[in-house]
Structure 1
Amino acid sequence: MIDVTIDATWWVIVVFVVDIVIRVTAIIIVPRNRRPTAAMAWLLAIYFIPLVGVFLFLLIGNPRLPRKRRRKQRDINEYIHDTSASLDFGTLRPDAPAWFTSLVTLNRNLGAMPLAGDNGATLIADYQESLDAMADAIREATRYVHVEFYILQSDAATDNFFRALEEVAARGVVVRVLLDHWANRGKPFYKQTLRRLDAMGAHWKLMLPVQPLKGKYQRPDLRNHRKLLVVDGRVAFTGSQNVTDSTYNLPKNIKRGLHWVDLMARIEGPVVASVNAVFLSDWYSETDEILTDEIDLFSVESGPGDLDCQIIPSGPGFEFQNNLKLFAGLLYAAQQKIIIVSPYFVPDEALLLAITTACQRGIHVELFVSEEGDQALVYHAQRSYYEALLRAGVKIWMYQKPYILHSKSMTIDDEVAIIGSSNMDMRSFGLNMEISMLVRGEEFIDEMRKVEATYRSLSRELTLEEWMRQPLRSTVLDNLARLTSALQ
């Protein structure tokens, strides 16, 4: 009996000491180079559920890519910055506001891409029309086609896209394809898609593969969320849409009748070189192949327009959150109107402050979100911000179900816009590799206004009075989801 008591006492002492060591160590390690909100969320998880909290922190607690990949990104940035420094990227529009010029400098310093003039850009808001427009552009290829999408599926909706790839590959055009590993694995048509790429002779690679047995591993929820297509360095597409059916072929979406609504831009002109540079950098990161000897990256031609465009890549391979800094800068620069479209809107403190401050400065601010969510945690975390936004004066438009408004854009006054793959949430700022395009030009804003008007006609306005009638259980769930959103 005495021995058992002594053993039990020692076990209690050991557990107590281990618990203290974990807590002290967490205080030292967790807050380092981490936002206070994220650090606090991790510390709360570790303190209240130590075993689970420590396991999750070891699994997903590092929001950065492996050192080797970050070094590659720095090398790529230096190459792009130095090579393009003295090149002509078209004639820029006159009379740019000082704030626009300073933001261009910010983007150049963080993401390396230059501002380019003489570009043409056309918006495509219809889902199937976008897929078919990309297929038409592919069929005009004579040298190469670069395809990079977060989700890439060969299905009935995308068959024309894949047939176009097969046709050009058959006549000797080089087809290179990048698709995100984690987003596609286990999804419908995954294996069929890879077999089709193999059959056509495409060079394809998985982005950010989580394959520890093959020596390929990083935090599993670090994802390459970019969507882009480049044809011969002459035409490019980028925006929010994946290459898949508008239901994503998922039974749960089909059962609920959900369809995705997206926005893509078809681009011609010098800025296409920057879109291509993003692809080549990701190709190099995944394959170690340098294609700049084969492809004259910055051999550019004027496009059918005079838009000023700049590509902003962002993600955990960069030192800073390039997209967040740009978005915050634009919000503070606005003088008249801000219209934001974001399916997943979970801002950090800086972005929320910028938006509410804009309202207090007398700026008209509108936010488009979906009435129905497809990702429960993000959906409820997003809802937790509605009261503060409504009280500040933001007009919230809820795109009516069963459609998921998946477009990602922002317009500032009547002169500048952003379109791309980046949501306004902490995942897109810190964990996802994204691509955004900054555009200056009234004609492009006019197109954006037409798209926004269509969204407005298909949405209903959420009022503060309606929101305050939410049941208590919804408020509790929203606030709990908000806490988990900070775990980065």
Structure 2
Amino acid sequence: MHELLSWLSEHYVLLLTWLYWSVDVVLRIVGVIVVPRRRRPGSAVAWLFAIMLLPVVGFPLYLMLGKAELPRKRREKQKIVNRLMRVRAQSLPDSELDEDVPSWLQSAVRLNRELGAFPLTGHNSADFEIDYQTSLDRMAADIRTATSDVHVLFYTMGLDDVTRNFFDALAEVADRGVHVRVLYDHLGSVTHWPVYRAMRRHLDAHGIEHFPMMPVKPFSDGAFQRPDLRNHRKLLIVDGRIGWMGSQNIIAPHYDKRANIRRGLRWQETMVRFGGPIVSEMNLLFATDWFYESGQSLDRATVVNTAPDATGSYECQLVPSGPGFVLENNLLLFNQLFYSAQERIVAVSPYFVPDESMFSALVTAARRGVDVELFVSEIGDQFLVYHAQRSYYTALLEAGVRIQLYAAPGILHAKHVSIDDSVTVIGSSNMDIRSFLLDMESSMMIGGTDFMVKMHEVEDVYRSRSRELTLEEWRGRPALTRLLDNTCRLASAVV
């Protein structure tokens, strides 16, 4: 025994080296076998690159972040949620599209119903709001009219000087007996700690029920859960008669971050205020998330109501998506619409990192003569995503896509698409791999000539604040910048 210990002490460097390289080789071999299974080629290549570059770091990261799915217990709960949603959605009225709408739009409606269970509903009203403070104040005014229920669900929420009126409205109606329920994404809100803590204290002080969505407790459901699986939806429903939806979070337009304030950054959002039968669909989506986080099932009368005002002229359909669904509902809808477009596509997204199928759909549309216009921000707030999305610009410009850069220091955070003069999709979903695979999102497909006129007016406002990027200008950027963009593109595929 003494001789063995003596030999080990003399040769431990050799043994550790041999052990390291043995583990290195094994991890590389296992990576090649395991990683490509049921995974997009681009994602598989990115993960394999990380593992081959440094296996002892890359492979553990893959084990933690390589599966875009919920733990088993959460998946079982999600099945209950989806079943509940489908059963209650049967109570919602079906609407028929006009005979003169294109057949591809009818196909999109059928696709959405199959993916997310929600029907197309008619006789809805909808109005845009693109001013940040005004939208908060209008939502607060609607909250103050509540008589029974207020349902709030936002990715990021915090009590600060900008949002105080919103939270005061919640407190006022709660104090007079209205049932207020609040959901906020845990990671999306807790990272803004001072205003997050102030919000929670405010809600508690007025007896308002609230829950963090997708709380970061990696092993709470019996298996490791990726911390970056998030609920990214933004919804406000008042008495089942007024619904708000779009891209805006309940926080100051600079997100209370010193770096953003120092740079003068301000987020530009687009919100839509709905009335009519569609509000019951929004309420039902909230109810499923409420059950998911609280375990409380809201009764049918609270969730699905007969709309008091059904005089609107817009047809609407809600499309939920996220890791709880089998397919990427938002991606499939976008691709269906891009391939169907005949004349015009206008896409607005703050984070544009498409998968291969969406990129091909946009390039193909431009090549076949469709006028394709993409709005993105001139500057970025997220280093990796900002540089990754820039790596797509050359191919898009060469195909004929017009890229509008929203002027700094604004961050165009709005998320919407319009196709021809037929339909708009607006909501919380970015056009990036994260929104397709990892985030719970909500999108609304809206048809109606008058609404398309309003949509184009919003696009005109953003166009007036943007400048068009030319292929000549883009080709002249520094070589080092190109290298950085392409490297970030590869890293962004690791999902």
TM-score with structure 1 length normalisation?
Answer: 0.96
1:212 Cα deviation from its structure 2 partner = 4.5
Identify the residue that residue 371 of structure 1 maps to in structure 2: 378
1:215 Cα deviation from its structure 2 partner = 5.9
Identify the residue that residue 52 of structure 1 maps to in structure 2: 57
2:171 corresponds to which of 162, 166, 169: 166
Instruction: Kindly provide the CA deviation profile for residues 17-69 of structure 1, in whole angstroms up to 9, marking residues without a partner as x.
Output: 32222122212221222111111111110111112212321222221122222
SS at match of 1:247: coil
Identity value in percent: 50
The question of whether the paired residues in 2 share the 8 Å contact of 1:84 and 1:298 is answered with no
Identify the residue that residue 248 of structure 1 maps to in structure 2: 255
Q: Which 10-residue stretch deviates more, 269-278 or 295-304?
A: 295-304
Identify the residue that residue 152 of structure 1 maps to in structure 2: 157
The question of whether the paired residues in 1 share the 8 Å contact of 2:93 and 2:119 is answered with no
Q: Which 10-residue stretch deviates more, 215-224 or 423-432?
A: 215-224
Distance (Å, rounded) in 2 between the aligned partners of 1:123 and 1:6: 73
1:263 corresponds to which of 270, 276, 291: 270
Identify the residue that residue 463 of structure 2 maps to in structure 1: 456
Instruction: Kindly provide the CA deviation profile for residues 184-229 of structure 1, in whole angstroms up to 9, marking residues without a partner as x.
Output: 1141311111000111111000000003586696211111111010
1:14 Cα deviation from its structure 2 partner = 3.1
Distance (Å, rounded) in 2 between the aligned partners of 1:362 and 1:125: 31
Identify the residue that residue 3 of structure 2 maps to in structure 1: none
Identify the residue that residue 135 of structure 2 maps to in structure 1: 130
Distance (Å, rounded) in 2 between the aligned partners of 1:174 and 1:296: 13
Distance (Å, rounded) in 1 between the aligned partners of 2:303 and 2:387: 47
The question of whether the paired residues in 1 share the 8 Å contact of 2:403 and 2:469 is answered with yes
1:197 corresponds to which of 178, 200, 203: 203
Distance (Å, rounded) in 2 between the aligned partners of 1:197 and 1:214: 25
The question of whether the paired residues in 2 share the 8 Å contact of 1:356 and 1:392 is answered with yes
1:301 Cα deviation from its structure 2 partner = 4.5
SS at match of 2:302: coil
SS at match of 2:51: helix
The question of whether the paired residues in 1 share the 8 Å contact of 2:27 and 2:56 is answered with no
Distance (Å, rounded) in 2 between the aligned partners of 1:300 and 1:471: 57
Q: Is 1:341 equivalent to 2:334 in the alignment? A: no
Superposition pairs of residues 283-322 of structure 1, within 5 angstroms: 283-293=290-300, 295-297=302-304, 299-322=306-329
SS at match of 2:80: helix
Distance (Å, rounded) in 1 between the aligned partners of 2:85 and 2:191: 36
1:294 Cα deviation from its structure 2 partner = 5.7
Distance (Å, rounded) in 1 between the aligned partners of 2:219 and 2:39: 30
SS at match of 1:210: coil
Distance (Å, rounded) in 2 between the aligned partners of 1:384 and 1:449: 28
Identify the residue that residue 436 of structure 2 maps to in structure 1: 429
Identify the residue that residue 479 of structure 1 maps to in structure 2: 486
Q: Is 1:177 equivalent to 2:182 in the alignment? A: yes
Q: Which 10-residue stretch deviates more, 61-70 or 100-109?
A: 61-70
Superposition pairs of residues 16-55 of structure 1, within 5 angstroms: 16-55=21-60
Q: Is 1:227 equivalent to 2:250 in the alignment? A: no
The question of whether the paired residues in 2 share the 8 Å contact of 1:235 and 1:267 is answered with yes
1:330 Cα deviation from its structure 2 partner = 0.3
Distance (Å, rounded) in 2 between the aligned partners of 1:424 and 1:312: 15
Give aligned pairs, total: 488
1:83 Cα deviation from its structure 2 partner = 3.7
Q: Which 10-residue stretch deviates more, 294-303 or 61-70?
A: 294-303
Identify the residue that residue 106 of structure 2 maps to in structure 1: 101
Q: Which 10-residue stretch deviates more, 210-219 or 64-73?
A: 210-219
The question of whether the paired residues in 2 share the 8 Å contact of 1:149 and 1:178 is answered with yes
TM-score with structure 2 length normalisation?
Answer: 0.95
Q: Is 1:398 equivalent to 2:413 in the alignment? A: no
The question of whether the paired residues in 2 share the 8 Å contact of 1:92 and 1:118 is answered with no
The question of whether the paired residues in 1 share the 8 Å contact of 2:283 and 2:303 is answered with no
1:16 Cα deviation from its structure 2 partner = 3.2
Distance (Å, rounded) in 2 between the aligned partners of 1:249 and 1:255: 11
Q: Is 1:275 equivalent to 2:285 in the alignment? A: no
Distance (Å, rounded) in 2 between the aligned partners of 1:165 and 1:134: 10
The question of whether the paired residues in 2 share the 8 Å contact of 1:145 and 1:175 is answered with yes
RMSD: 1.8
Distance (Å, rounded) in 2 between the aligned partners of 1:287 and 1:440: 34
Instruction: Kindly provide the CA deviation profile for residues 53-97 of structure 1, in whole angstroms up to 9, marking residues without a partner as x.
Output: 123212222211222223333333333333433653456544332
The question of whether the paired residues in 1 share the 8 Å contact of 2:142 and 2:238 is answered with yes
Distance (Å, rounded) in 2 between the aligned partners of 1:128 and 1:73: 35
The question of whether the paired residues in 1 share the 8 Å contact of 2:97 and 2:106 is answered with no
Distance (Å, rounded) in 2 between the aligned partners of 1:371 and 1:103: 32
Distance (Å, rounded) in 1 between the aligned partners of 2:307 and 2:425: 22
Q: Is 1:71 equivalent to 2:76 in the alignment? A: yes
